Amino acid sequence: MSPRGVATPDVRERLFAAAERVVERDGPGALTSRSVTTEAGCAKGLLHAHFDGFDAFVAELCLDRFARTAGKARALSGLAGRGTVAGNVEAVALVLFDSGGPALSGLAMGRPAAALRVREALEKGAPGFTAVQEAVTGYLEAERGLGRVPESVDPDTVALAVVGTAHHLLMTGRPGAPDPRAPMKRLVAALVGG
């Protein structure tokens, strides 16, 4: 436990990582400000000192993880011509399911104030599913230009299908449901080849 009055380094990330562990271990219903700060090993008031309430914390957690995923998706452009097309697209699609993705998405949607904050931030340009879709489209266009994706493949449609399916699987997932990675892998293979 961090002593009172002592600065806690990387507070946001420490709290976000603690929240992910709570959700992964105990499910979204167990996530409270107290469970997060206990898991993070810090003072109970730290979360509220850095966020404007628990809904703001949940929204910022989701937005932070969306931004990380979008950043990984943007890195796809550097992979054009390397590895397999399906493997590269699959790697980005599967990142959406990392760090408790399904549970965190459900958590935000189950908290109307957090969902509103997320929606407003996305409308103002915060990276989310649209950024991932644009990155996949750009990557597939580059691969098509290199002749590694057939001309008959429409990059926009493939990107929409990949991101839309990931979104569906995230929003309909629940504890104990089959792992969404297997159908995601099958979809990518069907769309761009194995």
Phi, psi of 167 (to 5 degrees): -60, -45
CB-neighbour burial class of residue 119 (10 A; exposed 0-12, middle 13-18, buried 19+): middle
pLDDT of residue 94: 86
Segments of the chain with pLDDT less than 50? 1-8
- Single-letter amino acid, residue 49: A
| Helix or strand run (H / E) with residue 80 | none
pLDDT of residue 96: 78
The whole-number pLDDT of residue 2 equals: 44
Q: Is the pTM of this model over 0.85?
A: no
At residue 9, the pLDDT reads 58
pLDDT score for 102: 58
- 6-27 pLDDT, tens digit per residue, is 444 589 999 999 998 898 888 7
Dig out the tokens for 53 from the structure.
């309430």
State the Cα–Cα distance between residues 186 and 164, nearest whole angstrom: 14
Q: What is the reported pLDDT for 3?
A: 47
How far is it, in rounded angstroms, from Cα 97 to Cα 108? 15
